[in-house]
């Protein structure tokens, strides 16, 4: 009796896994729909990247680490570009 239940559970599990894998392989979003408005992935990645750069710049200023940089606005721009590229590459599939 236990073997029959475990075998049927195993079959159900593998069926669910195969369905999920098929849906994941066919479902690749090319844009984000927020409130019926479509946004490109790069826009979302850039918004998140600039927000992360603002947070990093705030922390650098808070702990007075930005005084070691020659031109802090250029560091902010570099951080925004780095964060945007990392978020766009690894967290938001395009």
Q: Quick one: average pLDDT of 25-47?
A: 84
Q: pLDDT grade, residue 21 (50/70/90)?
A: low
Collect all residues with Cβ–Cβ distance below 8 Å to 44 and sequence separation of at least 6.
Answer: 32, 92
- The answer to whether the CB of 46 falls within 8 A of the CB of 91 is no
Q: Note the pLDDT of residue 37.
A: 92
Report the pLDDT value the prediction gives residue 48, as an integer from 0 to 100: 97
Q: What is the DSSP letter of 40?
A: -
Give the mean model confidence (pLDDT) for residues 1-15. Answer: 54
At 41 the pLDDT is 92
Residue 57 and residue 50 in contact, taking contact as beta carbons nearer than 8 Å = no
Is pLDDT above 70 for 9? no
Is the pLDDT score of 27 beyond 70?
Answer: no
3-state SS, residue 27? coil
60/28 Cα distance (integer angstroms): 37
- CA dist 41 and 46 (Å) reads 9
């Amino acid at each position: 009796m236990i073997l029959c239940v475990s075998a049927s559970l195993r079959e159900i599990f593998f069926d669910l896994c195969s369905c999920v894998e098929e849906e994941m392989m066919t479902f690749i979003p090319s844009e984000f729909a927020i409130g019926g408005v479509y946004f490109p992935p790069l826009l979302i990645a850039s918004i998140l990247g600039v927000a992360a750069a603002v947070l990093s710049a705030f922390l650098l200023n808070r702990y007075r680490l930005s005084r070691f940089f020659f031109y802090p606005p250029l560091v902010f721009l570099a951080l925004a570009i780095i964060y945007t590229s990392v978020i766009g590459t690894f967290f938001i599939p395009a």
